[in-house]
């Protein structure tokens, strides 16, 4: 019976661990631990974070628009805790401040991630562009991007003013179009403006991924459109999202439901609408990002705060899920029903 009990614990205990101020990869865990317990004393070199690590970066007030820092609270399982399951290819929920993994289901599977890529694109743009009011000239490569575009919520339906060849529009407004409309033309234009080409921008994304110790990710382009050998994981995406919270501009944008932007000369006005339908339904929602390609399936990232306090941010990522809206609602409800911060 003791052997059977141990096996059951090993099977059902989720990966919810945090090491010495840094994220610990679930498969590198040295032992089973109690929920939300901090695991200390790991000395194996492969588990050591790089000097410029993810956790260090998000807590450095000199680098942040908004320093996250430590809240002193760690999520703990409530009495009556129960497990949950969503019907996604992979899923992860993390606590932003402590790094604790609250839900984990194949979270390190390397997979195409479609427009969830644009979270990393936004981070790189924020760190490489000094003035968000810089003008970007729209070229034919941006206009010919596949999939969703400014003014075209689907690849076959255009309902508003599109971008125009040689139109000049600011970096900030293209960021807004990319994050709200999931506009691939805006992402291509930003990538080329920052790095000269989509491939060169992909190299910048991979440099950032290496800096953040994202071992499951390889980026190819700023839009997330399908290419060979382009992938990430739910776990890496959750970490990128938490890192992005240093930038108020990104999250003020992602919490916007509808807006419009204009070309620099005022000639064109572009109406934008957030693709995240849960934004208006969940009161504690901080923002989110949708993604879809045929290779990646339907995916969703959403950040939320504890509805009881308005604090304690979490990030949830689900990848390749045909019922992503329902599953995300259920996953958020489950998280706040089963965890409390102490």
Q: Tell me: the pLDDT tens digits for 242-253? A: 999 999 999 999
Q: Active site includes 118?
A: yes
> What's the confidence (pLDDT) of residue 117?
98
Does the pLDDT at position 59 exceed 70?
no
Gap between the Cα atoms of 224 and 118, Å rounded: 7
Tell me the average pLDDT across 28-53.
Answer: 30
Tokens for 59, please give them: 């807590």
Which is more confident, 182 or 18?
182
Does the pLDDT at position 14 exceed 90?
no
* pLDDT > 90 in the chain, percent: 73
51 backbone dihedrals φ, ψ, rounded to 5°: -55, -40
Give me the catalytic one of 55, 118, 172, 313.
118
> What's the confidence (pLDDT) of residue 155?
73
Does the pLDDT at position 236 exceed 60?
yes
Does the pLDDT at position 5 exceed 70?
no
DSSP 298-334: EEEEEEEE-TTTS--EEEEEEES-TTHHHHHHHHHHH
Q: Active site includes 182?
A: yes
> What's the confidence (pLDDT) of residue 55?
45
Q: Lowest mean pLDDT of 4-13, 288-297, 303-312, 325-334, name the range.
A: 4-13
Does the pLDDT at position 231 exceed 60?
yes
Gap between the Cα atoms of 174 and 4, Å rounded: 56
Give me the catalytic one of 98, 182, 223, 299.
182
pLDDT band of residue 7 (cuts 50, 70, 90) is very low
- DSSP category for residue 50: P
Confidence (pTM): 0.81
- DSSP category for residue 135: E
Does the pLDDT at position 66 exceed 90?
no
Give me the catalytic one of 115, 217, 223, 299.
115
Total length of the chain? 342
Gap between the Cα atoms of 18 and 194, Å rounded: 35
Does the pLDDT at position 41 exceed 70?
no
pLDDT band of residue 72 (cuts 50, 70, 90) is confident
187 backbone dihedrals φ, ψ, rounded to 5°: -65, -45
* pLDDT tens string 105-162: 999 999 999 999 999 999 999 999 999 999 999 999 999 999 999 999 877 788 899 9
> What's the confidence (pLDDT) of residue 71?
61
Gap between the Cα atoms of 178 and 62, Å rounded: 27
Q: Active site includes 115?
A: yes
* pLDDT tens string 267-320: 999 999 999 999 989 889 999 999 999 999 999 999 999 998 889 999 999 999
Tell me the average pLDDT across 221-233.
Answer: 96
> What's the confidence (pLDDT) of residue 19?
31
Distances from the Cα of 154 to the Cαs of 297, 302, 334, in angstroms? 15, 21, 32
Q: Which residues contact 174 (CB under 8 A, 6 or more apart)?
A: 136, 186, 189, 190
Mean per-residue pLDDT of the chain: 83
Gap between the Cα atoms of 298 and 287, Å rounded: 17
> What's the confidence (pLDDT) of residue 56?
42
């Amino acid at each position: 019976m003791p052997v059977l009990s141990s096996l059951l614990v090993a099977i059902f205990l989720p990966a919810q661990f945090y090491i010495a101020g840094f994220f610990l990869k679930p498969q590198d865990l040295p032992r089973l631990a109690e929920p939300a317990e901090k695991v200390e004393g790991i000395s194996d070199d492969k588990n050591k974070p790089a000097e410029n690590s993810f956790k260090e970066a998000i807590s450095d007030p000199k680098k942040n628009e908004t320093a996250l820092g430590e809240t002193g609270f760690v999520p703990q399982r409530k009495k009556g805790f129960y497990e949950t399951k969503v019907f996604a290819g992979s899923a992860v929920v993390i606590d932003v401040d402590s790094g604790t993994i609250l839900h984990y289901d194949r979270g390190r599977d390397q997979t195409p991630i479609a427009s969830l890529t644009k979270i990393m694109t936004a981070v790189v743009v924020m760190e490489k562009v000094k003035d968000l009011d810089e003008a970007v000239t729209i070229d034919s490569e941006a206009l010919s991007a596949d999939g969703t575009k400014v003014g075209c919520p689907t690849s076959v339906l255009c309902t508003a003013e599109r971008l125009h060849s040689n139109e000049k529009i600011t970096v900030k407004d293209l960021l807004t179009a990319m994050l709200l409309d999931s506009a691939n033309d805006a992402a291509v234009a930003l990538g080329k403006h920052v790095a000269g080409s989509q491939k060169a921008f992909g190299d910048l994304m991979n440099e950032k991924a290496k800096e953040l110790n994202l071992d499951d990710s390889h980026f190819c382009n700023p839009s997330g459109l399908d290419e060979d050998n382009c992938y990430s994981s739910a776990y890496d995406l959750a970490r990128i999202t938490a890192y992005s919270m240093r930038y108020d501009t990104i999250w003020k944008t992602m919490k916007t439901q509808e807006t419009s932007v204009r070309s620099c000369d005022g000639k064109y006005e572009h109406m934008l609408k957030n693709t995240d339908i849960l934004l208006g339904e969940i009161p504690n929602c901080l923002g989110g990002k949708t993604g879809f390609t045929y290779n990646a399936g339907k995916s969703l990232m959403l950040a939320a705060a504890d509805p009881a306090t308005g604090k304690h941010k979490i990030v949830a990522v689900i990848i390749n899920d045909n019922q992503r809206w329902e599953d995300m609602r259920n996953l958020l409800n489950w998280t706040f029903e089963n965890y409390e911060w102490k």
